[in-house]
Amino acid sequence: MSIEDLDLSQFHASGAPPLPSTAVESWLEHDGAQIGYATCGDGPAVILLHGGLGHAGNWGYQVPALIDAGYTAVLIDSRGHGRSTRDNQPYSYHLMASDVLAVMDALNLNQAYFAGWSDGACTALVLASLHPARSAGVFFFACNMDPSGTKEMQPGPVIDRCFSRHRQDYAALSATPEEFDDFVASVSEMMRTQPNYSADDLRAIHVPVEIVLGEYDEFIKPEHAVYLANTVPGATLTILPGVSHFAPLQRPALFNQTLLSFLNRLRAE
């Protein structure tokens, strides 16, 4: 896949590619929310968890690569994101992890691989820490596990284009299309204080984990990624060159190669 969209101009204009026509979309009710999810492909399940303010369709470049490599892609709209709804409960990664477990139960998945991007990475690692038997491994891309791991945000054209795309997609997909600003405020409050894992919490995680960060990530301190890789038992660290927090969109081939290398290694063990 030779797509390169470093400044996100293509993503801003048209979003990520649509999911394959073979994708099967479903819904479930869980803890005050209606959670939308989709499956496509045939093989071991890889659950794709998107970033904050986005939706499952942001993985449009990754799904075909997973299917071609013999995996089933499971895409979930986090509560309040995309087509999923929410109630008045505050956002939390633990709550969103419980939604993912509900989807797994609905699909009769005793275990799955996880690929998480930003907030989705937090959700995946929280789930793995609480329910290790359900996780065959976590590809943890571009997130922190305590508030000290984040940089002070510096607005710029790339972030502005991504935010604008999220606003457009929210208006098109959400059951509450007029509430984007309230949605942003609620998610941002979660990000400000969560997650807040101690070193001991991280050392208690016993599933395979790859910590992955773009060389120019706008939000996550590189030293935090090093800390996570050094603290989670057996974790590895990969820095993706020439990309930022938006690597799955900027250089899909690079991102997909790294993801599949992780998955194929675990699958062969």
How does DSSP classify residue 54? Answer: -
**pLDDT tens digits, residue range 117-153?**
999 999 999 999 999 999 999 999 999 999 999 999 8
94 burial via Cβ count (<10 Å: 0-12, 13-18, 19+): middle
Task: Tell me what pLDDT residue 229 has.
Answer: 98
The model's pTM is: 0.98
**pLDDT tens digits, residue range 206-223?**
999 999 999 999 999 999
Task: Tell me what pLDDT residue 72 has.
Answer: 98
**pLDDT tens digits, residue range 150-203?**
999 889 999 999 999 999 999 999 999 999 999 999 999 999 999 999 999 999
pLDDT cut 90: percent of the chain above it = 98
How does DSSP classify residue 74? Answer: E
Q: What is the dihedral of CA 148, 152, 157, 163, to 10 degrees?
A: 60
Mean pLDDT of the chain: 97
Longest C-alpha distance within the chain, in Å? Answer: 48
Q: Which two tokens stand for residue 142?
A: 């571009």
Confidence of residue 33 (pLDDT cuts 50, 70, 90): very high
**pLDDT tens digits, residue range 7-28?**
999 999 999 999 999 999 999 9
pLDDT cut 70: percent of the chain above it = 100
Task: Tell me what pLDDT residue 2 has.
Answer: 80
The torsion angles phi and psi of 197, rounded to 5 degrees, stand at -80, 135
Neighbours of 53 (CB within 10 A): 24
User: Is a pLDDT exceeding 90 seen at residue 1?
Assistant: no
Task: Tell me what pLDDT residue 153 has.
Answer: 86
Closest CA to 23 of 37, 6, 9: 37
